[in-house]
Chain A
Amino acid sequence: MPAGHYLHVMAGSCGRWIIQKLGHLGELLGFFVVCLKTALRYRHTGQRLMARTFIQQIYFTGVQSLELICFIALLVGGLVVIQGIAQLTRVGSRDVLASLFTVVIIREVGPLLTAVVVILRSGSAIAIEMGYMTVLGEIESIEMQGIDPLHFLAIPRLVGVTVAVISLIVFFNVVSIFGGFVSAWALVDIPFWALFSDLAREVDGIDIIVGSVKALMFGLTIALVCMFHGFRTGDAITNIPPQVSRAMVDCFILCTFFNVLISALFYL
């Protein structure tokens, strides 16, 4: 077979994969638009009940994840300092540690790792819950109460997860900086306040904007993708595991993609 043939086949496969993914992205976007329309249509309905579901979602995604996020953030903060000191000492520029912190933790690793924790912990729970509700006919019984399931189930989760992710990213950054500073002080005796003032100089407005945009995008993506796959479970209980697995993979790919895209837009 000529090499051209293989190139042709590869290009075809890539093209089909891209078209398929774009189609899926279009479906997700459509789902988001329907959610927005539903939120607007029923904005004055069931506010008390919705507020309760919203608070429960923040509690589950945000408050109950705090311990886990705290543990991971401390470890990551320490790790960045250990690697930073090891590499920077070689070139004799330990004073750029704060700058390294800003680039690695606040801009990139903090938002992405927080998103991964939320995907694994809350995203999977949402996809499974929606899947079971669909299979067991609970969605239909909500509809028969005259309640739009998108309004009652999707909107509080969408807003709740987004608010929780934004808060968790801020929390992750603060804890990992603290963990890193403690490690730096313990390992090489760099004064805590010296590092803190360096960091305050390094972090500027654009970092805060980028962090907020990433947090917003990650929160919306996780809630949207997990609910989308949960609602698509159909009527067989065996459909739940593949849908949850697809939701996890999609969430991770999309969050990584948005992370790169937003960084490129703001920092290049």
Chain B
Amino acid sequence: MREPLISAENLEYCEEDGNCLFTEVSFRLEWGQRGVLLAEPHRCANILLKICATLFQPTNGTISWFGRSAEDSDEKWLHHARRRIGFVHRETSLISNMTILDNISLGIQYHEELSREQAYDRITEVLKQFELYEYRLLRPAELTFEQRRLAVYARELVKKPQLFLLEHPSLDLGERVYGFLLEVFKKCSIEDGCGFLVASMIPEVVTRWGDWVMVFDRGRCRHFEVGQFDPSIYRESMRRRGATVSREWRNG
């Protein structure tokens, strides 16, 4: 029996001023599983994803990655674990003074001691697949939002991660490109057993991505299997709170 990709128990995250963004968050993500976090305001999901990406520490609670808990993990192991996690943040965090080629091949250049040329050869296929090959020598600022976003996906896929943490996967992407990405991820899930944790504000994401859904409501979370999830519950909860509901939500 394989250990879950990620498991969390009673996670709590409070800011320095004592404001707790969420408490008692527990979940397990098994190999090949896809979970969706629905949250408005989105900050809760953003912080939770960063905790799952090993970048932030929870105020309370326990979290394990690939069967190893945070308490047993030193900095070196965490750096190793990060190579097994593909994290696509809502902001396209490409390194602005590097070309797309260097951005995407940075990890393999560093870890596998490859020369630039060897690393470039390794990623040529991915660049062509993501239609970035002709833009490979440009810097991120010279690309469109969609191309930048694609470059981030390409950078993460080159790592061949086992766990994907995706924040707003459809952000800045056209329908065709988004469909292409879904196909790529589906292949990862089926062939390599990759797990996905997706944060969004759009309930339609659940139908395209989720095996289970976790809805944040006033800092607490509720779990649903996909079949049981009714978007109106979430919408109603948001209305009661008078929260600003995203455009897609209002239209939905």
Contact = CB atoms under 8 A, between A and B. Distances in A.
Q: Do A and B bind each other?
A: yes
11 contacts: A46-B109, A46-B111, A46-B113, A129-B97, A138-B96, A141-B89, A141-B93, A144-B87, A145-B82, A146-B80, A152-B110
A145 B76 contact: no
B53 interface: yes
B96 A132 contact: yes
A49 B50 CA distance: 27
A147 B96 contact: no
A49 B114 CA distance: 9
A138 B94 CA distance: 6
Contact of A47 (B81, B97, B113): B113
Interface string B52-80: 01010000000000000000000110011
A136 B94 CA distance: 9
Given A46-B110, A152-B110, A145 B93 contact: no
A133 B55 CA distance: 16
A259 to B, nearest CB: 33
A147 B107 contact: yes
B51 interface: no
Interface of B: 50, 53, 55, 75-76, 79-83, 85, 87, 89, 91, 93-97, 106-107, 109-111, 113-115, 152, 155-156, 159
A41 B80 CA distance: 13
Interface in A131-152: 132-133, 136-138, 140-148, 152
Contact of A145 (B55, B106, B113, B115): B106
Contacts, number: 72
Interface residues of A, number: 22
B93 A138 contact: yes
A43 interface: no
A146 B156 CA distance: 11
Contacts of B85: 144
7 smallest beta-carbon distances between A and B, as pairs: A146-B83, A145-B107, A141-B93, A46-B110, A137-B93, A146-B82, A144-B87
A146 B93 contact: no
A142 B211 CA distance: 30
A147 B96 CA distance: 17
Given A49-B106, A146-B80, 20 more contacts: A46-B110, A46-B111, A48-B115, A132-B96, A138-B96, A140-B93, A141-B89, A141-B152, A142-B95, A143-B55, A144-B53, A144-B82, A144-B87, A144-B156, A145-B83, A146-B159, A147-B79, A147-B111, A148-B75, A148-B79
